[in-house]
Chain A
Amino acid sequence: MARYFWLIPLLPGASAFVLLLLGQKLSRRWVSWQACLSVFLSFALSVIGFVHLIRAGHGAGELAKTLLPWIASGSFSSAISFVFDELAAVMALVVTGVGLLIHVYSIGYMAADRNTSRYFAFLNLFTFFMLVLVLASDIVLMFVGWEGVGLCSYLLIGFWFERPAASKAGMKAFVVNRIGDAAFIIGVLFLLVTVGSSSFAAINAAPAAGLLRPGLVTLVAILLFVGATGKSAQIPLYVWLPDAMEGPTPVSALIHAATMVTAGVYMVCRLDGLFSASPAASSVVAWVGGLTAVFAATIALVQNDIKRILAYSTISQIGYMFLGCGVGAYAAGMFHLVTHAFFKSLLFLAAGSVIHALGGEQDMRRMGGLKKALPTTFPVFLVGALAIAGVPFLSGFFSKDAILTSAFAGGHYVLYALGLSGAVLTALYMFRLIYMTFYGQTRATHPAGTAPHVHESPPVMTVPLVVLAVFSALAGFAGLPVLLGEKANWIGGFLEAVLEPAAHHLALSTEVGLILAATAAALAGIAMAFVFYRKRPDLPERTARSFPGIYRLLVGKYYVDEAYDAVVVRPLVRGAETVYARFDLGVIDGALDGSAAAAASAGKGLNVLQSGLVRDYALAFLLGAILFLGVLLL
């Protein structure tokens, strides 16, 4: 069975094809079942492949399949071929597993929408492209998936395109990603020219084989990483992700939390040979990740829209993953990607359940006191929050600790401090969210002045929540700290069959100290949130009043959007307007109008000759004949 792994992307692709062609004619029930079934089959195949890899042992079970020859040009050739190794298996399991739960949840969440078939068609299409990206054996095919998920992201952010904000957010996501992708393409072209092959194996081996000069390695790696900052929403190209929350909440969970936005991390891990060959590029990755982790977390502290907090939290957590990859702990980065996929999609789906219960309300200032009303959503939300905050023995604790420990072990103490302060902030903003949403008095208002009818979501939505909560709680045990024994970090060992191993030698006491520090950071954040938002509700306002400058900076999200608007967008628009007025209207339209006017006036002038009188024509004929004869004779 495992050799049919190449069907993993094709099944959702086929389903998307059918839904796009016939979706309008199929019943709502059929559409949802078909979409979920195709992803379920992909998930089952991924599990079979995963078991095959475990049975085969360390790096021995890699599966490869070439479907079609694709590009053959001179000495360069690229085929549509998939590869299923340890790294791809972990990512495929996340995409299909979390994807399946979100497909099921969507049945309930989108039950009231008219366009179910379009929604599921796009969701399936996204799953297809994401799996192409994951299973691609060369960087050109990966780029096809990379662009495909970007397209689906655009389509799904703007799913409710009647809302101007949604279609604008979709466009913003597309345009910002274009900037990153331009750098990515340039990086790929550099690789094709110098390495002469597009396969990951060849690219990873190229620096050691001397095919790439060290300077070029750094340049190419940074170009590819700029592409990753676009897709994975890192500084400086993160601005599209908060706006992307205009899409349906399950889309935010699947695309903008669990899978697509982590594609950049996956790409860096795929090209670990390239990135680890360049210490400069690696430290760029680590620093961008570390700074983003803290930067986005500070913005999340003061937001009031429940989904936007989660969006900034996603940006921050992906920063941790890049921090891990940048300090050489690729397996730790991937581990955090997996646990983050669980707890962040859980948080998004639970937030969706809250929004659903309140009839579309996203502002936390109009929530509160929902603990009793949402008996399933509240506990799973709490599990997700504890996991992301890094409370001991939940998944986020282990994965974040693995990254921070690697940073410390690599001697990157400043990055470690950044990560640790980010952890405090993470716990703080998550529990601010919990206290504002679920505790205290209800602040929900209804247009009529009465409290809205708050109701728990149907089982089709709560069951995926519970499953994700279980994984969020327990997934961490796949990667226990190394101090518990050589084999404790199972997922690390599994992934290091294909990834560069992390240099990791710390004294036992140091490791214990780091774990205690991480625990203290999480608890400190939670305690601060408790004091600020539960014990002394007047404190946040007073603090804001004592530091008005900082507060306004945070609420304004550091005015990055405004800065980009002033520095990039408006000059571009103004330049385009100038070009339009001068060149389009002046030169191009002028040339066209001029040639038309010339033809018209020439016609008017020659018009005189066409008198309609036979005699005039005959005279012209005669004079012509005489002229002709004269020329002949003379």
Chain B
Amino acid sequence: MIPPAAFLLVAAVLFSLGVLAFFVKKDLLTQFMAVEVMLNAANLALLAMAKASGLAAGQVIVLFVITVAAAEAVIGLAIIVLIFRQRRTIRTDELKDLRG
């Protein structure tokens, strides 16, 4: 049997990769994917802890996260498409109209 610490290690690596990708990449679509990676890293950590503790609560939260992530993906992608139509670009460095 694989110990839960291994799962947590994988989750931590996955999360760090997500954060790294978010900061390194400059187009909105890739950054969006990095957010999804971070979400799934969190899911993995939750499931590992749920398995280790034997409580169902972790799994329930994971189901909620997946649902919310699906909804968020739909709205997020729609926004990205609209931005592209308006501005012909999705580079975040160029989308800075809301500065003070």
Which residue numbers of A lie inside 8 Å of B, CB to CB?
606-615, 618-619, 622
Contacts and interface: CB of A to CB of B under 8 A. Distances in A.
A610 B100 CA distance: 5
A25 B63 CA distance: 77
B45 to A, nearest CB: 14
B22 A612 contact: no
Interface string B61-100: 0000000000000000000000000000000110111111
A618 B93 contact: no
A614 B99 contact: no
Interface in B17-39: 19, 22-23, 31
B96 A613 contact: yes
Contact of A619 (B23, B31, B95): B23
B100 A609 contact: yes
Contact of A612 (B19, B23, B98): B98
Nearest to B98: A612
Given A610-B100, A614-B31, A614-B92, 10 more contacts: A606-B100, A608-B100, A610-B99, A612-B96, A612-B97, A612-B98, A615-B23, A615-B93, A618-B23, A619-B23
B6 to A, nearest CB: 22
5 contacts: A606-B100, A611-B99, A612-B95, A612-B97, A618-B22
Interface residues of B, number: 12
Contacts of A613: 92-93, 96, 99
Interface of B: 19, 22-23, 31, 92-93, 95-100
Contacts of A619: 23
Contacts of A612: 95-100
A171 B99 CA distance: 58
B23 A611 contact: no
B96 A611 contact: yes
Contacts of B23: 615, 618-619
B92 A615 contact: yes
B35 to A, nearest CB: 10
A85 B39 CA distance: 95
A613 B26 CA distance: 11
B92 A622 contact: no
B19 A610 contact: no
A618 B20 CA distance: 11
Nearest to A614: B92
Contact of A614 (B19, B95, B100): B95
Contacts of A607: 100
A619 B92 CA distance: 14
5 closest pairs, A vs B, by CB? A612-B99, A612-B96, A610-B100, A607-B100, A614-B92
Q: Which of A606, A611, A612 has the most CB of B within 10 A?
A: A612
Contacts of B98: 610, 612
Contacts of B96: 611-613
Nearest to A603: B100
A608 B22 CA distance: 23
B20 to A, nearest CB: 11
B34 to A, nearest CB: 10
Nearest to A619: B23
A606 B99 CA distance: 11
Nearest to B96: A612
B7 to A, nearest CB: 20
Contacts of A615: 23, 92-93
Contacts of A609: 100
A614 B96 CA distance: 8
A233 to B, nearest CB: 68
A608 B100 CA distance: 7
Nearest to B92: A614
A622 B93 contact: no
A618 B35 CA distance: 11
Nearest to B31: A614
A609 B97 CA distance: 14
A544 to B, nearest CB: 82
Nearest to A611: B99
A610 B93 CA distance: 14
A335 to B, nearest CB: 85
Nearest to B22: A618
Contacts of A618: 22-23
B16 to A, nearest CB: 11
B71 to A, nearest CB: 21
Nearest to A610: B100
Contacts of B95: 612, 614
Nearest to A607: B100
B23 to A, nearest CB: 6
Contacts of B22: 618
A602 to B, nearest CB: 12
Contacts of A608: 100
Nearest to A606: B100
Nearest to A608: B100
Contacts of B99: 610-613
A141 B93 CA distance: 78
A615 B99 CA distance: 13
A619 B24 CA distance: 12
A260 to B, nearest CB: 66
A250 to B, nearest CB: 70
A609 to B, nearest CB: 7
Contacts of A622: 19
A398 to B, nearest CB: 90
Contacts of B97: 612
Nearest to A618: B22
A54 to B, nearest CB: 89
A236 B95 CA distance: 80
Q: Which of A606, A609, A613 has the most CB of B within 10 A?
A: A613
A183 to B, nearest CB: 62
A607 to B, nearest CB: 4
B93 to A, nearest CB: 7
A189 B93 CA distance: 76
B94 to A, nearest CB: 10
